[in-house]
Amino acid sequence: MAIVEKAAYTGNEAMAEAMRQINPDVVAAYPITPATESVQLFSNFVADGQVNTEFVTVESEHSAMSACSGASAAGARVMTGTSSQGLILMAEMLYIAAGLRCPIILAEVNRALSAPINIHCDHSDTMAVRDAGWIQIFSENAQEAYDNLIQAVRIAEHPEVLLPAMVTTDGFIISHGMEAVELLTDEEVKSFIGQYRATRPLLDVDHPITVGGLDFTDFYFEHRRQIAQAVENARRVIPEIGQEFGRRFGRFYGFIDPYKLDDAELVMVALGSTAGTARATVDGLRTEGIKAGLLKIRVFRPFPAAEIAEALGRAKAVAVMDRSDGLAGCGGPLFAEVRSALYGGKNTPPVVDYIYGLGGRDINVNDLRRVFIDLARLAAGEPVGQLVTYLGVRE
Amino acid sequence: MANLKQLAAKPEPFSSGHRACAGCGAPIVARMVLLAAENPVVCGCATGCLEVTSSLFPYTSWRTPFIHSAFENAAATISGVEAAYRSLKRQGKLPVDKEIKFIAFGGDGGTYDIGFQSLSGAMERGHNMLYVCYDNEAYMNTNIQRSSATPKGAHTTTSPAGRVIPGKQQFRKDLTAIMAAHNIPYAAQASISHWNDLVTKVQKALAVNGPSFINVLQPCRLGWDFPPEETVEIAREAVDCCFWPLYEVVDGEWRLTYKPREKKSVIDWMKKQGRFKHLFRPGNEAILAEIQANVDREWEKLLKKCGETAEK
């Protein structure tokens, strides 16, 4: 475990460094705030001959994912990066990339969706494409973003998975925040990810195949079932690769990251950078003798329902923190899935939802304390009055 | 110049058994373009008639590697395949002696309209690829809706000949000229009726270093409403009346590749197609005159660009 460098990087810089070390065959990308920086940095690597990548400067995110799909089907290792409107402009192609079983890696920076237009963090963009068939990994900080991006290559390209994967950071909070990051050496990354060998590349002109054919009622269902199976296979592969990464480099990864959950009665569930704030809040409450805990979810797709049910097995009340509002009229997407994961289990504590931080609205320890105070009342037997609370908004 | 005997001796690159309508011109385009190619090719195709009729799982007509991903992105998709080729070849991950060519197909919907941005971007970026539009002048795959390639006056299901409005109100977009304006090394207009002209153009297009574009007129017997055995003849008459001139733009130089001995009447050509039949009812004479005048004007403009004169 030779760590060559521990230096200050923004999330975008850490993502760009990971991309440089992964050295993909093709990158097709279109700039968008706050993901632009990593694309710019990567352009420098290309211009300076530090990577072997063919960089396709497309005219839109839709074309970015189209070119990525073509390049991946051709047999190349392919990456891109985007955010917000860019991600949802890609949405059609995200589904197709997964359906064509293209293991493309996407560095996604979570940002609010228009309208009103807003460039700051929330998870609306990533959640909007949660059913596209992509692996989705959330990062709490720049270090995780870097580690996740490298692992994503192995996960996506695993022969029993062959699905695209997006690794997300929170816009500005992580993408532009400077942190100490431990980089691996170029050699370590190279040996961890290995060479990509496509099984049936388009460029094998001696063995022509047709990619993207038309299925009618007689085959579509079977092909979609195969994708569902690949997602199920990823459930096994993701923790295996997280463990292997840990054994080699000292940082272990799984689906979820429990914090002080062993005896926790009041549990907060969160994704991304808010986990850090939640951990500080838990520490504060613990000094006051309150049994608070945090369940950070790292992988949103495939959704680790069993792991979550197990981790929340002793909780007396649960608050789900949703940094996006699915506008379902009954809570955010994380809430719906966490609550569903608990249904039918041994422990079914009251679960409430907090929609917070939309459009980059700051969230701090005091806000999260308020959530735990609500949970304490529920744990004491008070009935759930309001299932969904908008936290930190002027009403 | 292509040699028909030599072409006929080549293995068939686009298999029969596809599900195109009887009399459809689209498979003719695919066959001729693929027969013209001398190197191995990888093809892409936009969603549309050619794609749905040729790649119905578990069958395929494509004896070349083929990719379809969506409607508006054939150019972007094949540009990604070409980028992968350049990258892998440069890195020694592909044999250096094997040269592969890249061809994207799209109908006029996938090319003039929804795929226009993707096409423009790919041409500007300079990929080594040929884009072939099989232009049947409407969205035929979804049952004949108007496109920006639909000629003025034509009845389509979204520009119907009604009591008040007599078919499509606008003239068609001149896409070939727009592609030539991208200053790509090769742009051309061709027709399924002139096989040698088409095959020669494809060979020229594949020989250039950089992007090329060919717009091929492909009559649709269903949407244009004529008997299926007349497809090639209808295409020929479109060329002879100068509605669809055959020309090429090589490094910015415009050249006519076929000049009709006698310029026929566009109105006579229109008479053979059901999509224009409402224009031959009394009261629509002015529209017919306007269409003929437009063809005359465009033809004169083209002759000037090509350094030709009308009488010769």
Q: Are residues A34 and A161 in the same domain?
A: yes
Q: Are residues A92 and A169 in the same domain?
A: yes
Name the DSSP class of B61.
Answer: -
B14, B42, B71, B116, best to mutate vs chain A, most A CBs in 10 Å: B42
Residues with pLDDT less than 50, chain A: 1
Q: Are residues A35 and A182 in the same domain?
A: yes
pLDDT tens-digit series, residues A135-144: 999 999 999 9
Q: Which domain range does residue A167 map to?
A: 5-249
pLDDT tens-digit series, residues A164-179: 999 999 999 999 999 9
Tell me what pLDDT residue A299 has: 98
Q: Are residues A124 and A163 in the same domain?
A: yes
Tell me what pLDDT residue A6 has: 84
Q: Are residues A139 and A173 in the same domain?
A: yes
Q: Which residue has the tokens 């979550």?
A: A308
B4–A contact, CB cutoff 8 A = no
Q: Are residues A342 and A236 in the same domain?
A: no
How far apart CA B40 and CA B10 sit, in angstroms, is 13
Residue A124 lies in a domain: yes
pTM tops 0.95: yes
Tell me what pLDDT residue A5 has: 63
Q: Are residues A123 and A233 in the same domain?
A: yes
Walk across the sheet containing B130-135 and list its strands. A210-211, B66-68, B41-45, B101-107, B130-135, B212-217, B186-191, B246-250, B253-258
How far B242 CA sits from the closest chain A CA (Å)?
35
Structural domains of chain B sorted by starting position, each given as residue range(s) with its CATH number in brackets: 4-305 (3.40.50.970)
Quote the tokens at residue A288: 């006051």
Rama region for B76: left / alpha / beta (φ>0; ψ in -120 to 50; rest): alpha
Tell me what pLDDT residue B311 has: 60
ipTM of this model? 0.97
How far B241 CA sits from the closest chain A CA (Å)?
38
Q: Which residues of B touch A96 (CB under 8 A)?
A: 69-70
Q: Are residues A171 and A303 in the same domain?
A: no
**Using omega within 30 degrees of 0 as the cis cutoff, is the peptide bond preceding A349 cis?**
no
C-alpha triplet A53, A193, A129: angle, nearest 5°? 75
Residues with pLDDT less than 50, chain B: 312
Q: Which of A206, A231, A249 is the last residue of a domain?
A: A249
Q: Are residues A215 and A272 in the same domain?
A: no
C-alpha triplet B210, B211, B216: angle, nearest 5°? 145
Q: Which of A249, A281, A309 is the last residue of a domain?
A: A249
Do A211 and B68 lie within an 8 Å CB cutoff?
yes
Quote the tokens at residue A209: 């195949």
A23, A27, A56, A68, best to mutate vs chain B, most B CBs in 10 Å: A56
Residue A108 CB neighbours (<10 A): 29
Q: Which of A233, A249, A265 is the last residue of a domain?
A: A249
Q: What CA–CA distances, in Å, run from B276 to B151, B153, B155, B272?
A: 10, 7, 6, 8
Do B52 and A214 lie within an 8 Å CB cutoff?
yes
User: How many residues are recorded in chain A?
Assistant: 395
Do A66 and B70 lie within an 8 Å CB cutoff?
yes
Q: Are residues A271 and A242 in the same domain?
A: no
pLDDT tens-digit series, residues A227-238: 999 999 999 999
- Which amino acid is it at A395? E
Indicate the number of domains in chain A: 2
CATH number at residue A288: 3.40.50.920
**Buried-exposed string B178-196: b where 16+ CB fall within 10 A, e elsewhere:** bbbeeebbbbbbbbbbbbe
Per-residue DSSP letters for B190-218?
Answer: EETT-HHHHHHHHHHHHHSSS-EEEEEE-
